[in-house]
Amino acid sequence: MQPIGRVELDCRKVHIVSKAQGVANPSRSAAAAVLKAVRTRHVYANLQLPHVLTRMKDPRQASFTTDLVYGALRWQGFLDALLEQVSHRAVSAIDPDVLDLARLGAYQILFMSVPSYAAVSSSVSLARATKGTRSSAGFLNAVLRKIATRDRQTWEVILTSQIPHSQPLHRLAIRYSHPIWIVRQLASSWMYARGVTDVRNSITPVSRILAADNEPAEVTLTVRPGLMTVQQLSDQVTRIFPHAHISRGRWSPYAVRVKSVTPEKLPAIQQGKAGVEDEGSQIAALVTGMAPLTCTETRWLDLCAGPGGKTALLGSLARSRKIKLWANEVNATRAKLVAENVRALRHAGFDPIEKITVEDGRGYADRHHMRGQFSRVLVDVPCSGLGALRRRPEARWMKSEQELGSLSRIQHDLLVSALDCVAPGGVVAYVTCSPALAETRHVVDAVLSHYPHVIRVNAVGVAEKLLGSKARSFGLSAQGDIQMFADQTQTDMMFVSLLRKY
């Protein structure tokens, strides 16, 4: 690392760097704009980024901007702790627009291959060029220069050493940049899944989960069986994206993991013969379709279907068995996505999609006079999404622990509704994209305590029929529920509990 003092003296070098950075400045200003939109309008970065990236002709600029945005959001907690350390003030006392620039600059210094002097110079230049932050250019310059005197690992040691060893989860929260309440939720989930009672024995595995949570999620495609094969999809990816990296799924037999691919440009995606779907979600749908029944196979129901990825995979399985599927989604926009996802199934001989409804899933059976009329019901309930923070790193800073309580009540009612819909001998798959016990085990346990005619089915055992012994890595609890952890599965952290009514 170049000494800070030499940057100040070597004016010619700084001038040249500033001119060179003029090419990259649009990337940094675009990143700052996205951070501000996330902060002030509470939009997700993956929805805001495409608007700024379409104006960039150089793919390197787009890549730099994407890395900068997601990195600064992912490591916001760590960066804020560091900024408080070097500025001797709370981040709440720093102007929000300046704080965005400080986070972006610090991320470049500590996490990217950007030279420190370039990160400092470009950040200060951006502050001076932006209305509202010009007067803070000096503060930004001083703070970033101080950060540049040490590397990330050294700052990590400094920050965590200030937290007592008696608070190991707090140390993990800083080190891996997660709110402490999320770290506690992950620790509780892992401890329950493994039958561990001493939190000290969870530190290493939880640190691995948090580290995996900070890795960008792979793009995973899924074929709709009966419409296309994995080999056909792989061949199409290779033909259209010659430099793509392709690998078979780790878990789902219908999955293809890809890099350097724009999925929406694939004809298979455009035609609905394949989709973009995390393998965790694929397994949830497959387990729903494979669970053994003790009743006659009738129609199936996806009670909370939006946006329709699981519906399409479930519909493919239903189509192969000549079974009709109903899909319901409370949100009209997401219901349209469901219809879009299943459109190819409706033009391939037997149409498995009998009905798509747009309504609250609670009380569904009585409104449609369908109590006990479905042999399989998938209820992928609305949840906190703590299992998919790899995809939306900003969500960890937007959510609060209080949300879990209100969500659990909705989840409870939807599971009850699903049980009303299922026939005796049929199965309900209760699914969440969250490892939080309040949204998983506690919901299922509460419902079972009031429904003595409902029992758990070993979901891991069902998964083993599909995957073999490797399904045992799904963080199973004593009850046999599936709980995926990102470090072991490289998927979203899906929870699946199978229930049978008798």
In the three-class reduction of DSSP (H, G, I as helix; E, B as strand; rest coil), residue 356 is classed as strand
Are the C-beta atoms of 481 and 467 separated by less than 8 Å? no
Query: Which residues are CB-neighbours of 79 under 8 A, at least 6 positions away?
Result: 72, 102, 103, 106, 107, 177
Alpha helices by DSSP H, 88-179: 96-111, 116-129, 137-147, 152-161, 168-175
Strands (E), 303-417: 325-328, 353-357, 374-380
Distance separating alpha carbons of residues 38 and 81, to the nearest angstrom: 20
Q: How far apart are CA 419 and CA 423, in angstroms?
A: 8
Query: Strand pairing partners for 274?
Result: 223
At residue 387, what are phi and psi to the nearest 5 degrees? Answer: -85, -5
Residue 304 annotated among the catalytic residues of the structure: no
Q: Tell me the C-alpha distance between 82 and 237, whole Å.
A: 43
Phi-psi region at 322: left, alpha or beta (left = phi > 0; alpha = psi -120 to 50): left
Nearest to 101 by CA among 48, 32, 156, 14: 32
User: Backbone phi, then psi, for 389, in 5-degree steps?
Assistant: -70, -15
C-beta of residue 159 within 8 angstroms of C-beta of residue 78: yes
H/E run at residue 189: helix 180-194
3-class SS letters over 40-84: HHCCCHHHHHHHHHCCCCCHHHHHHHHHHHHHHHHCHHHHHHHHH
CA distances from 137 to 73, 97, 143, 373 (A): 22, 12, 10, 66
**Rounded-to-integer distance, Cα 49 and Cα 333, Å:** 21
- The most distant pair of C-alpha atoms in the chain lies apart, rounded to whole Å, by 82
3-state secondary structure 17-51: HHHHHHHHHHHHHHHHHHHHHHHHHCCCHHHHHHH
DSSP codes joined into one string, 156-186: HHHHHHTS-TT-HHHHHHHHTT--HHHHHHH
Residues annotated catalytic, as ranges: 433
